[in-house]
C-alpha cells in the first residue's frame, strides 16, 4: 500500500523577519544617511555654485574630466557611496575629475538663464579647471540635462575641449515621456509657465519634484522593494541613499526654467536651430571633438529617441553611440558609468609616460 507524503507547509524564516523589521524600524526612526564624498577640494566658488576637484588616486592621464550635472537634481548621485561612486571609480582609474555643482538657486537668482549658466558659470569654471590642472585640453562629461548644457557649451566655446561625453541626454524634445495631450498643450502655447516662473522667481524644489512625480504619481514599488529586501543591510543602505537623492530636488532659476521650457522643450531649438546663447548661435555641428553618447535602455525619463538624433547633429568625425542596460538613475547610482566612460576615454586622454596600465 503506497503511503502519501505529508503536505509540506512552508515556514517563515524568523531570523530574517526579525532583521527585516529591525531595519524598517531603523529607517523610520533613524536620521537621514550621510553621504561620504570621495576626497575632494574646492577650486572656485561663485554665488551658490562650487567647482570641486577630485584628484586621481594615481594620475595616469593628462586630460582631466569635467562633469556637468543636471539643473534639476543634485550632483551627489555621481559620488553617492564609496563602493559605487562614479567619480571615485574614475579617480581610481587615474583621471583627475572636476565637478561643477550648480548649487541651489535662491530668490535672487531669478534672472539666471541658460546663457548665464553657460557663459558666466560653466565657461568660467572650465577655465579655472584648465588653469588648476595645468592641462592644455579637457574632456567634458554631461549627465542628463547636464549633457544638454555641456553640448550647448562645447558648440559655442573657444576653450580647448578634447572629448565630449553625454549620457541619458535630452536633445530632441519632439518626443517625451509626458502624455501626448500635455505635450501638445505645451507646444500650442495653451500651457504657459512664464507667469508662474516670474511670480516665483525661482521655481521651488517641491514644484520640480511634483513635476517629475506627475509623470508617474503612483510610487510604491521602491518601498515594496525595500520591504522585500529589508533584511539585507547593504541593500537598505543603498536604497536609503537613492531615496534621499530622489526626494532631494533642487529649485530651478526662473529665467533658465522659462528658456528650458520655451526654447528647448516647446520650440525644440537644439534640433530645429535658432537657439542663441549669450549672442552666440548654438549649432551642434560646431562640436568637432571626439564625441560619445550613452543611452539607457530602461530609461523612463529620457527616451532613446530624445538622445539618438544628437549623433546626426554633431559635427564630430570620431563619434560613438552606445545603449547600456540600465535606468536613468541606476547608470550613475550603481557606478556602472565609470567603467563605460573609462573604456572609451582611456585611449583619448593622453596616457602619461610611465603610467601603469
350: left (phi over 0), alpha (psi -120 to 50) or beta: left
**Out of 42, 196, 210, 276, the residue judged to bind other proteins by CB under 8 A:** 196
**Out of 11, 28, 356, 357, the residue judged to bind other proteins by CB under 8 A:** 11
- Rounded CA gap, 308 and 294, in Å? 9
**Grid coordinates of 12:** 517563515
Query: Does 209 interact with other proteins (rule: CB under 8 A)?
Result: no
Query: Does 182 interact with other proteins (rule: CB under 8 A)?
Result: yes
Query: Does 279 interact with other proteins (rule: CB under 8 A)?
Result: no
Report CA torsion sign: 314, 317, 318, 324: positive
Q: Closer to other proteins at the Cβ: 26 or 124? A: 124
Burial of 32 (0-12, 13-18, 19+ CB in 10 A): exposed
- Rounded CA gap, 157 and 159, in Å? 5
Q: Fill in the DSSP letter of residue 4.
A: P
199: enclosing H helix or E strand:
helix 194-200
Kindly report the number of other CB atoms within 10 A of residue 221's CB atom. 10
**Out of 6, 180, 279, 354, the residue judged to bind other proteins by CB under 8 A:** 180
Query: Among the candidate windows 105-113, 146-154, 265-273, 337-345, which touches other proteins by CB under 8 A?
Result: 105-113
Query: Among the candidate windows 87-95, 133-141, 179-187, 275-283, which touches other proteins by CB under 8 A?
Result: 179-187
**Out of 19, 47, 243, 286, the residue judged to bind other proteins by CB under 8 A:** 47
How many chain residues touch other proteins (CB under 8 A)? 42
Query: Does 356 interact with other proteins (rule: CB under 8 A)?
Result: no
Q: Do residues 75 and 69 lie in contact, with contact meaning Cβ atoms separated by under 8 Å?
A: yes
Q: Closer to other proteins at the Cβ: 212 or 321? A: 212
Q: Hunting for cell 556602472 — which residue is that?
A: 336
Instruction: Give me Rg for the CA atoms of the chain.
Output: 22
Query: Does 298 interact with other proteins (rule: CB under 8 A)?
Result: no
Contact residues for other proteins, defined by CB under 8 A = 8, 10-13, 16, 46-47, 106-108, 110, 120, 124, 127, 131, 179-182, 184-185, 190-193, 195-196, 198-201, 216-221, 224-225, 227-228
Amino acid at each position: 500500500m503506497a503511503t502519501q507524503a505529508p503536505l509540506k507547509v512552508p515556514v517563515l524564516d524568523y531570523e530574517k523577519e526579525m532583521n527585516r523589521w529591525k531595519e524598517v524600524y531603523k529607517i523610520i526612526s533613524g536620521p537621514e544617511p550621510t553621504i561620504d564624498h570621495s576626497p575632494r577640494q574646492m577650486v572656485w566658488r561663485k554665488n551658490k555654485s562650487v567647482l570641486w576637484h577630485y584628484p586621481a588616486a594615481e594620475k595616469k592621464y593628462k586630460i582631466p574630466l569635467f562633469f556637468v550635472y543636471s539643473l534639476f537634481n543634485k550632483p551627489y548621485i555621481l559620488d553617492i557611496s564609496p563602493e559605487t561612486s562614479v567619480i571615485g571609480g574614475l579617480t581610481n582609474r587615474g583621471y583627475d575629475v572636476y565637478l561643477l555643482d550648480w548649487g541651489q538657486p535662491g530668490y535672487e537668482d531669478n534672472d539666471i538663464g541658460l546663457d548665464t549658466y553657460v557663459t558666466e558659470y560653466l565657461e568660467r569654471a572650465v577655465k579655472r579647471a584648465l588653469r588648476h590642472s595645468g592641462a592644455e585640453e579637457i574632456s567634458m562629461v554631461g549627465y542628463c540635462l547636464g549633457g544638454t548644457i555641456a553640448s550647448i557649451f562645447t558648440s559655442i566655446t573657444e576653450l580647448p575641449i578634447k572629448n565630449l561625453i553625454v549620457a541619458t541626454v535630452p536633445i530632441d524634445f519632439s518626443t517625451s515621456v509626458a502624455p501626448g495631450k500635455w505635450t501638445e498643450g505645451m507646444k500650442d502655447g495653451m500651457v504657459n509657465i512664464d507667469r508662474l516662473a516670474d511670480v516665483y522667481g525661482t521655481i521651488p524644489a517641491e514644484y520640480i519634484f511634483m513635476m517629475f512625480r506627475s509623470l508617474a504619481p503612483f510610487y510604491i514599488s521602491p518601498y515594496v522593494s525595500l520591504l522585500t529586501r529589508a533584511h539585507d543591510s547593504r541593500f537598505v543602505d543603498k536604497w536609503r541613499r537613492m531615496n534621499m537623492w530622489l526626494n532631494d530636488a533642487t529649485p530651478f532659476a526662473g529665467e533658465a526654467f522659462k528658456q528650458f521650457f520655451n526654447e528647448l522643450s516647446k520650440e525644440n531649438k537644439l534640433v530645429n536651430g535658432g537657439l542663441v546663447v549669450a549672442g552666440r548661435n548654438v549649432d551642434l555641428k560646431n562640436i568637432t571633438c571626439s564625441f560619445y553618447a550613452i543611452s539607457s535602455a530602461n530609461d523612463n525619463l529620457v527616451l532613446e529617441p530624445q538622445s539618438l538624433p544628437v549623433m546626426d547633429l554633431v559635427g564630430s568625425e570620431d563619434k560613438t553611440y552606445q545603449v547600456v542596460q540600465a535606468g536613468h538613475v541606476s547608470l550613475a547610482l550603481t557606478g556602472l558609468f565609470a567603467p563605460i566612460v573609462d573604456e572609451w576615454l582611456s585611449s583619448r586622454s593622453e596616457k602619461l609616460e610611465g603610467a601603469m596600465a
